[in-house]
Structure 1
Amino acid sequence: MSTLPATSPAYFIGWDVGGWNCDKNGKSRDALVILDANRRIIGQPWRGNLRLTINSAADSVAFASALFERCGAQATLGDTPITLAIDTPLGFSQEFVRLVTILQAAGALGSSDTNPYLFRQTERWLFEHRLKPLSAIKDMIGSQATKGMHVLARFAPTMVRCGVWQGGALTAIEAYPSACKNSLTVSALQEPFGKLAHDDLDDALTCALVAWLFSAQPEKLASPAETVPLAEGWIWVPQDAVWDSSSPQGLGGHAWK
């Protein structure tokens, strides 16, 4: 197990989330990739189930340290900034929450991609821009969503702004690798790594790169409008992955495929 210098300025962790009992699912499990400030992989990409790691960690530093250990690296983290990009919905829509808590109906409902019970505002925004996010309600990823939200509640409970949570030096955001496939920005960052040993690991790497962009080049990610409900969160996707209806180019100026 390698040991990292205590002076490393920042780390970026991508977490592709598996279900609570994903050790029983050979196709989809938790996956981790950790990058340093120079976008070098720390330790080895890891794939398995983080349930016991989550259960045993006492605070955000212990949790982050355990993620490094999973990847075969030891780090004295302390106040070292860590950005964790998580590939799962980290919230539910206001309409869904009102429905299940006070039985308040949202009104007339239309197509699936505009249904506010099924999709948050951030996801409906992606649909409007030709991307197709999954729903925590209808696409059987509720296990993953509650796992990601449980980690926020335990280790990054402070919402500092829409789509950004913190706990100590740990910052958590939501990423969506499938939405990055048309991004030239992300493709260029991925190229030096090639393909990893499993699709889950590739998704974790994409998340780690989004975490790096969020910290180093935030202008390259689409930010939430002021109307997005804070409790629903936000999916941080590259500007050049988002189709602009007024142009055949993404919002970031690159050709959209």
Structure 2
Amino acid sequence: MSSPSAPARCFIGWDVGGWNCERNGASRDAIVILDEALQVMGQPWRGNLRACIAAAGSSDAWLRALFQHCHVAAPEPLPQVTMAIDTPLGFSDEFVRLVTRQGAVEADEVSGRNRYLFRYTERHLFERGLKPLSAIKDMIGSQATKGMHVLARFAPQMLSCGVWTDGAGFRAIETYPAACRNAPVITGLLQGRPSLGHVDLDDARVCALIANLFADGLAQLEAPPDSVPASEGWIWIPSAG
């Protein structure tokens, strides 16, 4: 499945496992790398990236390690990389103010509107009839902190709401495969492409497709309105239409 030549750009999907996901046979880190033709590069990888994250001293080293995991010879120089990550990459402003003793808000009786449990972007998805997970109440805090740790180390600059960068050729965004996989634009891109053999890998491929749409088809994704607190981030999914 290797691409015949080194691409100028590639798109990486990361379905995030917990810090100690090697103990969890059902859910682990999964990485899929797509070239510009949306062909899988090398071999999709599944395991725990904890040691890889700790060992990498720069965004280039982190990306090279991901290429190596997927049995892809990293091009020289590295291509421009857009990565879409399946885990919450922020907490709500109300939750942050609560845990830093800066004030409280009324907790809505409807769970999906509770501003401690869900960010603006997640509450917006609830209004669309979707059911995103909460980093606070749904036991994905391990995955969330792992994703945020990677941003802090390898993509620390906020380019705009929901977009992080290393200041060079690496950008990272957040997505939610469960809210994407049945969208017409995604089903169209996946037509004729068999499963990669595990739901984690299939979700990572959906993430990589969203990364591609972010780079080349941004109008097909729902962008954050100005009212979204930038610190909370944004879940990039196909537009409702």
Matched, 1:107 2:106: yes
**Partner Cα separation in structure 2 for residue 3 and residue 58 of structure 1:** 27
Matched, 1:160 2:159: yes
Question: For the structure 1 residues 77 and 210, does the alpha-carbon distance in structure 2 shift closer, same or farther, using more than 3 Å as the test?
Answer: farther
1:186 paired residue number? 186
Q: Which amino acid aligns with 2:217?
A: Q
1:72 paired residue number? 71
Q: Which amino acid aligns with 2:133?
A: L
Q: TM-score, structure 1 length as denominator? A: 0.90
**Matching of residues 5-154 of structure 1 within 5 Å:** 5=5, 8-78=7-77, 80-154=79-153
Q: Which amino acid aligns with 1:157?
A: P
1:74 Cα deviation from its structure 2 partner: 1.3
**Matching of residues 190-209 of structure 1 within 5 Å:** 190-209=190-209
Contact 2:3/2:40 (8 A) holds in 1: no
**Partner Cα separation in structure 1 for residue 116 and residue 19 of structure 2:** 23
1:196 Cα deviation from its structure 2 partner: 1.3
**Partner Cα separation in structure 2 for residue 27 and residue 114 of structure 1:** 30
SS of aligned partner of 1:193:
coil
**Partner Cα separation in structure 1 for residue 99 and residue 76 of structure 2:** 40
Q: Which amino acid aligns with 1:48?
A: G
**Partner Cα separation in structure 1 for residue 11 and residue 216 of structure 2:** 11
**Partner Cα separation in structure 1 for residue 179 and residue 21 of structure 2:** 23
SS of aligned partner of 2:200:
helix
**Partner Cα separation in structure 2 for residue 140 and residue 165 of structure 1:** 25
Question: For the structure 1 residues 77 and 220, does the alpha-carbon distance in structure 2 shift closer, same or farther, using more than 3 Å as the test?
Answer: farther
1:154 Cα deviation from its structure 2 partner: 0.4
**Partner Cα separation in structure 1 for residue 31 and residue 122 of structure 2:** 24
Unmatched segments (≥5 aa) in structure 2: none
Matched, 1:213 2:213: yes
Count the aligned residue pairs.
240
**Partner Cα separation in structure 1 for residue 26 and residue 191 of structure 2:** 24
- Percent identical pairs in the alignment equals 57
| Runs of 4+ displaced beyond 4 Å | 2-6
Between 112-121 and 77-86, the greater mean CA deviation after superposition: 77-86
Q: What's the RMSD between the two structures over aligned residues? A: 1.6
**Matching of residues 236-251 of structure 1 within 5 Å:** 236-239=236-239, 242=240
Contact 1:4/1:74 (8 A) holds in 2: no
1:189 Cα deviation from its structure 2 partner: 0.7
Contact 2:12/2:82 (8 A) holds in 1: yes
1:78 Cα deviation from its structure 2 partner: 3.3
**Partner Cα separation in structure 2 for residue 170 and residue 97 of structure 1:** 27
Unmatched segments (≥5 aa) in structure 1: 243-251, 253-257
